[in-house]
Chains A and B, each alone.
Chain A
């Protein structure tokens, strides 16, 4: 039965939830669920899991752009049909994994993937740079300060060798969010790319009456910079808001709540770089990432400044960190003043926390190292 717009509730099916994941298990996964003994990474992008029943499963991980066409999904299905009995899976970082149940089937799969014009780069395992968790950007969102797909492509092109190899001290997670809603993982990633504004919102008094719930816009401001106000539009007094510009830090929360307060600006908007976050509990506790570069311009289509900054941080980390040390652990061991020196990043007042609980982030000790930053 097709959908009948005159009777929208007729024959409506709802609240089914997702299909049960076991329906889509490859036979070898289903047979060995909960029985795995150990695993190894046989080469970058290829893992082997050994079961107590002596079964083996080989997993080949390939990168994707996350934003993909149905044509590409069909091609992924074709590959899964040809090599993996029609089974495949996506990872939590939007890589694709193909699984085969014997070693002989791995090489034909790798050859097939390699024959497809680098649409399916194999890698993303171990101590390398895997896929970048990212957001919508200018493709679909209305609050971004930068693009997502474009920046991610530019950065991954530059770091591609780190995707297909495992030469770093530990894995490096890079994430991008196009505004500080931080959809995704930027607040807890080794290197994070974040879209930021630098100008206050413009208030459109002509529209504000019909499209805005003013108390929400006022309550959305973390600094109390939005205040109720009155304005005159076409000879009529209306209720509106005004922004105390000196208090505004351009977060854009008020625009999220009120469409008549846009703040995107081509020159003002750009990218901040944060580093040192992680989510695992391995050796040290999870950490938030910290802001080290306050602003880089939106230089489309290749964002050269952003790409260069990330490469510089990654190379300094690769040179300086010990085995198993994540970016944040390295920075904390050598001291953040040394981190800025090693990465050749100028330290600015923008990195000094001044939001409510800021005091704890300042240095309350005489322990520090002299660096090139202290003149």
Chain B
């Protein structure tokens, strides 16, 4: 399994750069690392709000929220989520929040 070193912390990731151990290994260094990899220049409160919403929903329900639920709870339309996370809610935001990689026919 590939390992990523960033600011003195190491992370086990899969070939797409998602955390293999999920939120157990998640911390601020991971957010900082993904920020660079996803081309996000400044981490704003809005980014944080999306990450918090994803993690809260995942902890409570065991799944990532549907896009419409994420929009509703954060108040950000899909367009805004793409502006915050250029790779989108799945590849961008879920990766940064330490959620499992989206599955199915994606």
CB contact under 8 A between A181 and B19, given known A8-B39, A213-B63, A215-B62: no
**Closest A-B pairs by Cβ, 3 of them:** A8-B39, A210-B22, A213-B63
* In the complex, chain B residues whose CB is within 8 Å of the CB of A181: 105
Interface on B for A, CB 8 Å cutoff?
Answer: 14, 19-22, 24, 39, 58, 61-64, 86, 100-101, 103-105
What is the distance, in angstroms, from B24's C-beta to the closest C-beta of chain A? 7
- Select which of B24, B61, B104 is within 8 A of A256 by beta carbon: B104
* In the complex, chain A residues whose CB is within 8 Å of the CB of B19: 210
- Select which of A5, A210, A216, A239 is within 8 A of B63 by beta carbon: A216
- Select which of B14, B21, B100 is within 8 A of A213 by beta carbon: B100
A256 to B103, alpha carbons, bound, how many Å?
7
Contact between B21 and A7, CB atoms less than 8 A apart: no
* In the complex, chain A residues whose CB is within 8 Å of the CB of B64: 213
Could you pull out 29 A-B pairs where Cβ atoms are within 8 angstroms? A7-B39, A8-B86, A9-B39, A9-B86, A181-B105, A209-B22, A210-B19, A210-B20, A210-B100, A211-B14, A211-B20, A211-B100, A211-B101, A213-B62, A213-B63, A213-B100, A213-B103, A214-B62, A214-B63, A215-B62, A215-B63, A216-B103, A239-B62, A256-B103, A256-B104, A256-B105, A257-B103, A257-B104, A259-B101
Contact between A209 and B103, CB atoms less than 8 A apart: no
* In the complex, chain A residues whose CB is within 8 Å of the CB of B20: 207, 210-211
Size bracket, chain A contacts:
20 to 34
A239 to B100, alpha carbons, bound, how many Å?
14
What is the distance, in angstroms, from B76's C-beta to the closest C-beta of chain A? 18
What is the distance, in angstroms, from B84's C-beta to the closest C-beta of chain A? 12
A258 to B101, alpha carbons, bound, how many Å?
10
Contact between B24 and A210, CB atoms less than 8 A apart: yes
What is the distance, in angstroms, from A253's C-beta to the closest C-beta of chain B? 9
What is the distance, in angstroms, from B67's C-beta to the closest C-beta of chain A? 15
Contact between A210 and B86, CB atoms less than 8 A apart: no
CB contact under 8 A between A210 and B39, given known A8-B86, A181-B105: no
* In the complex, chain B residues whose CB is within 8 Å of the CB of A9: 39, 86
What is the distance, in angstroms, from B88's C-beta to the closest C-beta of chain A? 12
Q: Is A212 an interface residue (CB 8 A)?
A: yes
A213 to B104, alpha carbons, bound, how many Å?
11
What is the distance, in angstroms, from A14's C-beta to the closest C-beta of chain B? 10
Least CB separation from B99: chain A residue: A213
Given contacts A216-B63, A256-B105, 11 further A-B contacts (CB under 8 A): A5-B39, A8-B86, A209-B24, A210-B21, A211-B22, A213-B103, A215-B62, A215-B63, A239-B62, A256-B103, A259-B103
* In the complex, chain B residues whose CB is within 8 Å of the CB of A211: 14, 20, 22, 100-101
Least CB separation from B103: chain A residue: A257
Least CB separation from A253: chain B residue: B104
* In the complex, chain B residues whose CB is within 8 Å of the CB of A216: 63, 103
What is the distance, in angstroms, from B83's C-beta to the closest C-beta of chain A? 9
* In the complex, chain A residues whose CB is within 8 Å of the CB of B104: 256-257
* In the complex, chain B residues whose CB is within 8 Å of the CB of A6: 39
A8 to B14, alpha carbons, bound, how many Å?
22
A 204-224 to B, binary, CB cutoff 8 A, 1 in contact else 0 = 000101111111100000000
What is the distance, in angstroms, from A137's C-beta to the closest C-beta of chain B? 16
